[in-house]
Structure 1
Amino acid sequence: MARLGGSAAFPGHFTTYVRAAGATRRGPDRALSASASVTSVEPVGAKPSPDLVPPLERDRLRALVDADISTAERMHADDYQLVPPGGGAISKSEYLGAIASGDFRYATFEPASELAVLVGRDMVALRYRAHIEAHFGESSDEGEFWHTDVWQLRPDGWQVVWSQATRRRAGRSAG
């Protein structure tokens, strides 16, 4: 992973890391292939490693698709909130309850881009494009969404506390 210097918005305060299979590029406007592992912006001297949470996020997505409620319960903080594309806020109990009952099912929920990572002392924010196919009742929805998650170090370890999904409109740049 290459260390590439400060960001334009916060010169000297953040360091940007970009890693892709066989390639390193600078800047948020440079699209990397879906095989890219992590892009991160890290406050100087901060912990944890930018590599810590992305594997947890992938495990969380797998638990949601597999309706592995036991794993999902551990990975979502008790005060977790999801803001879906339609707006509003859904609590952990509402979200995981709908998955557990089968009222809401993910057929697919996977990153469609590299994971951008912002690291603080006890929090990590992730942003990525996700391909999601979900079924609820007799309806279904499929598309590409911008997905943002905030993970926080809690007494029980790293847990996701907020998620937000925004539908990408057709014809927009890969961003």
Structure 2
Amino acid sequence: MSRLPLLGLIVIALVGTLDMSRAPDAAVAQEDAHPLVGTWRWENDPADLADDSFGTFHADATYIEVTANVGTALGAWEATGERSGDVIFVFQDGDPSLEYAPGIGTFQLAAEVDQSGDILSATGSLVAQAPDGTVLNEFDGWTFVATRLEVGMPVPFPAPAAGTPVAAAPAAPTDADLIRDRERERPRAVVDADLEAAELLHAADFQVINPFGQALSRDDYLGGIAAGGLDFLVFEPISEIELRLYTDVAVIRYQMRLEVIADGEQLDFRGWNTNVYEYQDGRWQAVWSQITMSQ
């Protein structure tokens, strides 16, 4: 199952900086008659009407949204114009499928009501975080459309009228895309000696086989970098990153260029890097790596 399917299933948002401590009476005075106030049916995926969600902008500047897959979100909103506003709300579920994954999803959205007062268009982004606050993924560039829910409107709900803009979103990165991104981040982390980032990218039981056939644990590997015994100058893919994905395990390989100073001796070569990733604790991490020198 993809760990990060299209998160346009839900619309949560944060655009700009909102003052969450403002006085309620000021919020009501500003937003009581705003056209955003009301309940809206979000058409998250035009190809799947069952994927719709329902959100309510309250006159007291609070927001609530209900979905079929990740539960209920709570948030707040703020008027930015006569027909527009920014809103922030958060779901306590890191996986938008029917499976529950601990974490939070905070979406960013700027919304505007059309002249009819019944169609709402919005653009936004998402930050997905693990329970410890680690940012797992960030997405941007989605657009969404919602229709005002009113007493007396036809039931069942009609499909969007011809010519009416519908929700559209860029394809969310697949697990394969995410793993390739992780494998680009991993060498950068060791070159930069960014041990905090490197620890997140390497599993606790990570093991690397270096070009000389020596097996190093994560502590050996990252400890060598911390102590200065391993100083990576260049560590970069020079070919396409090929990948085989098997549910919670992925195998990747690519050609690479490596320049490293190991115990005072500088090595500069090209070779193959083969890695195994596992999905652990809500994120993909490298568990095995083998570097083979080719020249």
TM class, shorter-chain normalised? Answer: 0.5 to 0.7
Deviation of the 1:141 alpha carbon: 0.2
Show structure 1 runs of 5+ residues with no match: 1-47, 170-175
Report the 3-state secondary structure (helix = DSSP H, G, I; strand = E; otherwise coil) of the residue aligned with 1:147: strand
SS of the equivalent of 1:95 reads helix
After TM superposition, where is structure 1 displaced by more than 6 Å over at least 4 residues in a row? none
How far off is 1:124 after superposition?
Answer: 1.2
Q: CA deviation at 1:50?
A: 2.1
In structure 1, the partner of 2:205 is 79
TM-score of the pair, normalised by structure 2: 0.40
CA distance in 1, matches of 2:264, 2:178: 38
| 1:31-46 equivalences in 2 (<5 Å) | none
1:105 aligned onto 2:231: yes
**Secondary structure of the equivalent of 2:190?**
helix
- How do residues 26-175 of structure 1 correspond to structure 2 at under 5 angstroms? 49-169=175-295
Aligned length, in residue pairs: 122
User: Structure 2 stretches of 5 or more lacking a match?
Assistant: 1-173
Deviation at 1:137, TM superposition (A): 2.6
Structure-2 separation of matches of 1:156 and 1:81: 20
RMSD: 1.1
- Identity in percent: 38
Per-residue CA deviations over 1:76-109 (Å, capped at 9, x if unaligned) read 1111000011002100000000001111010000
User: Which has the larger Rg?
Assistant: 2
Cα-to-partner distance string for 1:27-68 (whole Å, 9 max, x where unaligned) = xxxxxxxxxxxxxxxxxxxxx632120011111111010000
Contact 2:229 2:264 in 1 (8 A): no
> In 1, distance between residues paired with 2:199 and 2:274?
19
Which structure has more relative contact order (CA 8 Å, sep 6+)? It is 1
**Secondary structure of 1:148's partner?**
strand
Q: TM-score, normalising length from structure 1? A: 0.67
